[in-house]
Amino acid sequence: MYSFQQRALQAEKRPALLALPFLRRVYLLFTGGVWFAIVGALLALYVGQPAAIERGGVVVATVPPLVAFAMQHWIIMLVVYIGAFFAASFARHIRGLNVVALFGYAFVTGLFIAPSIFVAQAMASAGHTLDASPVRDAFLLSGAAFVGLSGYVLVSRKDFSRLGAALTIGLFVLIGASLLGLFLHAAAFQLAIASVGVLLFAGFILYDTSVIMREGERDAVGAALRLFLDIINLFLLLLRILSASRDR
């Protein structure tokens, strides 16, 4: 006999089944954005004739030209990065252009974070970091964390959308602490900020995945953009922890 419990179970599953094409599109766009960011970072790190940095007539380091430009003109890079972000945000409802803007922003993000990757790997090559390969391990850890956290929400269907207010407050506290850290120059304080940031953006992954799945959102590009921001920030915070100086 077709029981009430069976009917209720099918009614619960029906919205999830209807959301599958949307979720598939979100994660395809998100994956594409990650690949464009990787291409942007690789382009900045390996394309062009490296510029030599001399000290006392002796070459102490060679820096890729795009990375050198980003380091010397960081304000220009910051303006380009923020502009690309707002372009992707404003264009997310314009069909065709929204995907181009998303991937363009992801590519610019790769260029923007390339100096951080270069410095971390250079310090690791000199044996000054806590982790022997901070870039690789930060990438693997952030990927594993995203798959685990987002997959947990999709499988368990638990509602984490109530975390929104707490996460927003935590983000403002993190920004304030990061600004304070610019003046304190304390390694332990910087590691503490990065550690809290890792937990915060792990929470954002749970929250954003839950909102995407439960609220019937149909802005696939906007959803992919939020997930992309989560994993990029998680990667950079993990990179900061793993590339911390072991000499301090």
Predicted pLDDT of residue 13: 47
According to DSSP, the residues that pair with 54 across neighbouring strands are 59
Contact 82, 100 (CB under 8 A): no
Q: Is residue 248, in this structure, part of any structural domain at all? A: no
- 58 in a domain, yes or no? yes
Q: Judge whether 159 and 214 are in contact, CB under 8 Å.
A: yes
Number of domains in the chain: 1
pLDDT of amino acid 56: 62
Between the alpha carbon of residue 198 and those of residues 8, 142, 193, 226, 233, the distances in Å are 38, 9, 9, 16, 8
DSSP per residue over 176-220, as a string? HHHHHHHHH--HHHHHHHHHHHHHHHHHHHHHHHHHHHHS----H
The terminus-to-terminus CA distance of the chain in angstroms comes to: 70
Asked if 223 and 208 count as a contact pair (C-beta separation under 8 A), the reply is yes
Residue ranges in the chain modelled with pLDDT below 70: 1-19, 53-60, 215-217, 246-248
- The reply to whether 185 falls in a domain is yes
Give 159-166's long-range contacts (Cβ < 8 A, gap of 24+): 159/210, 159/214, 160/203, 160/206, 160/207, 160/209, 160/210, 161/207, 161/210, 161/211, 161/214, 161/215, 163/203, 163/206, 163/207, 164/207, 164/211, 166/203
For 192, the domain range is 4-242
Distance between CA atoms of residues 238 and 201, nearest Å: 11
Classify residue 247: in a domain, yes or no.
no
SS3 47: coil
